[in-house]
A and B are shown apart, each in its own frame.
Chain A
C-alpha cells in the first residue's frame, strides 16, 4: 500500500483510534501487527508468506544465538538472510551475467531463470533483522522473548518497506512499555505525515515527469535540458525518499513511537563523508557498524574498506552494474578525500563553504546518473548529452521545470527546518495552521499521479 493513497490514509486513521482506545500493550501490539500485515499484503498478498517465514526463522535464530553465543550461529543467521535476499534480488542478474559470459566465450547456453516477484522492502527488513541478530550476538541487546513484539519490530508498517532502518535498541524498549498519549507528539506526527506527503506529491512527482523524459530520451536531448534533468533527479530522489522517511517518522509519532530521521539537508554537505552523514543516515550507520568497522575500519586497509563498503552499499540498492558503479564511485571519492585529507574543513569562510557545497552537490548529482539510468548504455548517452558537443542551451518547456526547482529549494529550506526537534511545536498557532493548511491544499491539488516511492523497489 502506498503512503500517498487514500486507502492508506483511511486504514491509518482507522487503526489509530483502535490503538489508543486500549491501555493494554499486548492488544496495542496486535493492532500494530494487524495493520502492518494489511499494509504489506495489500501490495501483493503472497509476499506475506515470505515475511512470516522470515519472521519465524529469525526469531528462532535470535534465541539460538542468544543461547549458544557461537560464531556458527551468527554465521548461519547472516548466511540465511543473505541467501534469502540474494535469491529474490540478485539471482536473475547473476544468472544473466553468467549466461552472457559463457555465450561470449563462444558457447551457446540458455540458463532457465526463476520466475518470481521481487518482495517489496526486502533489502530494508533483511538489513534491520541482520543488525538485530548481530547485536544479540555481540550481547548489545538481549534476544526478544516475545514473538509478538519481535513480529512488530520486523513488520511495523511505518518503516517496513523503505526504512528508516531502526536499531533494536531504539525500537524494542518503546514496544515494551505502554505509551501514554501525548498530544504534542501526535500533533507533530500529523504535521510530519502531511509535510512528507506534500514533498512527495508536490515536488518528487512533478519532477519525475521531467526526469522520465530526459532519461528516456538520453542521447537526443539538449545540453541545457540534460543538466536540468540531472539536477531535477537529484531533487526528485531526495524529495521522494525524504518525503517517505518523514511520513514514516510522523506515523511513528502518531502511535507514540519515535523513529530516527533519515535525512539532514544532504545537499548542504561539504564533503563526501559529510554527505553520507546526512543522506539515508540509518543505512550509512548500518554499513559503518556492521560492515566497515568489522572489515577493519580506519585501522587496516581503510581505503579498500571504504571502496568495498560503498560498492556493497551500491549493490544493496539494486541488482545491476549501474548500481555497482554508483557505489564504487562513491567509494573512490571517499577514499580520495581521505588520501587528500579534503574531508577536514580548514577554511570555513562563507565563500569556501558555498564552493564546497556546490562541488559536492555536482559530484553527487553526476553519480546519480548511474543510479537513475536503467543501464550503462543510457548512462553513457546521458554523460554524452552533458559534456559532448553540440552544446545546445535552449530547450522547450523548461520554464516550468525551473519554477519547480525554485519551489523545491524554498520548500526544502523553510519547511525542512520544522521537521527537527520541537521547531514546529514552537511556532505560533497561526503559523502552525498556515503551514499545515498550505500543505494540505497542495496535496489535494496535486495528488494525481500516485507514483510509487523510488525506494520501494530496494
Chain B
C-alpha cells in the first residue's frame, strides 16, 4: 500500500471524526435551534414566536391544519372590522394532550396573542408518549439503555431528528415565519391548492348551512372532571390570567363520521368541557354538510376550508366588535 493512499484513508477517518465533533459543538452552542427543528409542535411554536405581532392563533390536529386558512380569516376580518388582524395556524398532524399542554405554556409568553382558537375533537385527547421531549422513555432493554446514554452525552444524538431531509423545509419555515400562514407545511394538497382561485363566494344559504351549533357553558358547574376536561380547564385559566380570549371549536365532519363522533357520549364530553371551563363551544361537527367540502371523512377540502375559515372569522369579528 502506497504511503499516499494510507494517508488518504487516515485523513478520511480523521475528517469524519472532526466533522462530527464540530457538529456536536454546533448543536451544543445552539440547542434551541435544533430542538425546534426536531418536532412539529416545537417548530410551529418557534415560528409563531418569530413572527411579527400575530394576535390570532389556532391550534389543533390535522383537522384544523387542513381546515383553517389564516389568509381567508385575515381578509374577512379586515373587511368586517377595517383593521388588520394577522392570524397563524399552528395545528399539527398527530397532536396529543402533552403537545397541547407544552404548546399552550410556550405561546402565552407571546404578549401579542389576543385570541386563541383551540380545536376540540377525539384526536386532541390522544395520550402521547412524551417522546417529543425525550422524557419517560422505556429503558428496559439494552437498546434503550444505550440510546438513553447516547442522548445524555451527545446533543447531536439528542436532536438527531433535526437531521432529516425536511430540515431544509423546516429551517426555511422558521427563517421565513412571517411569510408562512402555518398550514402550508406538509399539508396534503397544499401544492395544488396554491394554484386554485380564492374567489369563492359565500351565499346566504351556504352561510346558514355552515352556521355552528353552540354548546353553551352552564353556570351551575357540575362537570365530571376527566383528564381532558382538567387540561382544558387549566388552559382556560392560563388564558384568563393572560387576558387572552379563548374559543373552542369542534371541526366539521362528514355525515358518515358523525355516527362515531357526533353521538350522545361525545357530546356529553364536550358539554363537560364547556361547563368546566365556562367557555362556549362552536360545534361544526354535527352539521349536515355536503361531501364536496371534504377530502375524507374528517378533513376539509379547499372549498370546505374556505367556508369554515370565513365562518370562524365572522365569529371572531363578533367577539372583537
Contact = CB atoms under 8 A, between A and B. Distances in A.
Interface of A: 5-7, 10, 182-184, 186-187, 396-397, 399, 407, 425, 429, 432-433, 436-437, 440-442, 444-448, 450
Contacts of A429: 8, 11-12, 15
A187 B146 contact: no
Contacts of B9: 183-184, 186-187
Contacts of A183: 1, 5-6, 9-10
Given A396-B295, A444-B160, A445-B161, A432 B146 contact: no
Given A187-B12, A396-B295, A429-B15, A7 B146 contact: yes
Given A396-B295, A429-B12, A6 B1 contact: no
Contact of A399 (B11, B164, B191): B191
Interface in B1-59: 1, 5-6, 8-13, 15-16, 19-20
Nearest to A182: B1
A433 B19 contact: yes
Given A396-B296, A429-B8, A444 B15 contact: no
Interface string B139-168: 000110011001000001100111111010
Given A399-B188, A429-B12, A6 B147 contact: yes
Interface of B: 1, 5-6, 8-13, 15-16, 19-20, 142-143, 146-147, 150, 156-157, 160-165, 167, 188-189, 191, 295-296
Given A396-B296, A442-B165, 7 more contacts: A6-B143, A433-B15, A436-B12, A445-B162, A445-B164, A445-B167, A450-B143
B279 to A, nearest CB: 33
Contacts of B163: 441-442, 444-445
Contacts of A436: 12, 16
Given A6-B150, A183-B6, A432 B12 contact: yes
B12 A433 contact: yes
A441 B191 CA distance: 28
Closest 5 CB pairs of A and B: A445-B163, A445-B164, A444-B160, A6-B146, A433-B15
6 contacts: A183-B5, A396-B189, A429-B8, A429-B12, A437-B16, A442-B163
B63 to A, nearest CB: 14
B243 to A, nearest CB: 40
A396 B161 CA distance: 25
Nearest to A436: B16
A184 B7 CA distance: 11
Nearest to B157: A444
B146 A10 contact: yes
Contacts of A397: 188
Contacts of B19: 433, 437
A276 to B, nearest CB: 34
A442 B10 CA distance: 23
A411 to B, nearest CB: 12
